[in-house]
Amino acid sequence: MSLRYQIHLRILFTLLIVLILGGATLILQARQSVAKEVQSSVQLALQLITLSLNKTSYSQVDDNTWLHDIALVKEIHHLTIQLKQPSGQLLQLNANSGLSHAPQTPDWFVWMVAKAYPAVSYPLITLDKKTVQIIIGVNELDEISEAWQETKVFFGVILLLSAGLFIAVNVIFRHVLQTVESILKNLSEIETENYQNPLPHFAITEFERIALAINHLTATLHKAQQENNRLTLHSLQIQEEQRQTLAQELHDELGQSITAIKVMAVTGKKNLGNPVEIYQSVISVCDHLVMVVRSMMKNLHPLILTELGLSASLHDLISHWQNRAEDLKISLSCDVGVDLIDGKMAIQAFRIVQEGITNAVRHSQAQQLSITLVVENEAAQTLSIAIEDNGRGQDFSQLVLGFGLLGMQARVKSLKGTMQILTAENQGMEIHINIPIA
């Protein structure tokens, strides 16, 4: 069931309850109003009769006189006034039937509003000492008819208000659902890695906050996508360059050396030269080949890392860089627990430090570079790497991660670690990395 359908059902159900409660309230009020009006009419009639009869001593007035006075109340609605003779005969004093002027009223409304009203009698002693009864009966149909007219008006107003409320709520929810559809469509585009269509601004504060959060997420994902694409292209370029370099070295070094060995072997086979010189040349060429192969293997993977551990590999790496960058003083501090970490993490840590040194040598123009590796927190061990230089630094607000820093960040993320960069103009750069070991 869709959200729109559920909302419509709930609105209609709520309005139905409101109409039922409103109708019940109107009928109850009509019933009370009719009762009060009837009681007021009866009391008014009794007071008028009492005042009319008391203003003159009826011991001196004939029957026609007080009958005329009693007939003065015949215009009071809802009442029937009768005179009961001592003989039991009933004399109708007014002709108000309650139906002559009453508009048509539904029977169900009459049944729900009407109730039994007992007749009221008033004793009267005539001039000839006879006791007669003035009987005031109630005929509430006129008042019920008036209450029905008022109820129709009030109920019509309630219906109009309910219809207006339903339309207003429906329009509001339609606008809200259109906004939700827009957000869902944008999220679907994000799912397909389309980050080019940000959400517009919304008038509703809550949706505006959601739109800002999604747009911020989209911008972040788009930036990460661009950085990943750049890093991927750079990695592929480096890979091709390494392959080209490896192929060139294989061709220039190994190819030429093997060719030379073959030539000397052929020469020795034909006894065309001095065997001792030939053997010495072969040994020299083989030694050169060993050096070339070791250099190639070192570039591909540091064997010392597998044989002696991370600490020794880093000291060897720094010694290599110290010979190449004599103006840069590099210091290394390794905790004893560094050599105990897993081999896969060790090679990643080695590459991170290697990239950090390369980045400092190429860009920082520093004179000092400090590298610290510490295993912290015995309960949940963490490898902490700090790389600090005193180079030119950079304004952090304008910092753009190059391929070196992006590569370090990618390695750290792959190990579920965190990387923090601190830098300022002419104040060097600090890189703090924390990698969980467990």
Q: Which residues of the chain have pLDDT under 50?
A: 57-62, 95-102
112 and 161, same domain (yes or no): yes
- Is position 244 within any domain? yes
- Is position 175 within any domain? no
Residue 224, CA distances (Å) to 170, 193, 231, 435 in order = 41, 11, 10, 21
The answer to whether 257 touches 289, Cβ cutoff 8 Å, is: yes
Domain of residue 294: give its range. Answer: 193-300
The answer to whether 330 touches 371, Cβ cutoff 8 Å, is: yes
- Is position 41 within any domain? yes
275 and 420, same domain (yes or no): no
Q: What does the pLDDT read at residue 371?
A: 92
220 and 200, same domain (yes or no): yes
Q: What does the pLDDT read at residue 114?
A: 75
340 and 283, same domain (yes or no): no
Q: Which of 168, 183, 201 is the last residue of a domain?
A: 168
8 and 115, same domain (yes or no): yes
21 and 155, same domain (yes or no): yes
292 and 334, same domain (yes or no): no
Q: Which of 275, 300, 325 is the last residue of a domain?
A: 300
- Is position 186 within any domain? no
Number of domains the chain contains: 3
Q: What does the pLDDT read at residue 61?
A: 42
Residue for token pair 């304004």: 395
- Is position 386 within any domain? yes
282 and 254, same domain (yes or no): yes
15 and 145, same domain (yes or no): yes
Whole-prediction pTM value?
0.49
- Is position 181 within any domain? no
- Is position 177 within any domain? no
> Which CATH number covers residue 349?
3.30.565.10
149 and 202, same domain (yes or no): no
161 and 55, same domain (yes or no): yes
Q: Which of 281, 300, 319 is the last residue of a domain?
A: 300
7 and 129, same domain (yes or no): yes
- Is position 419 within any domain? yes
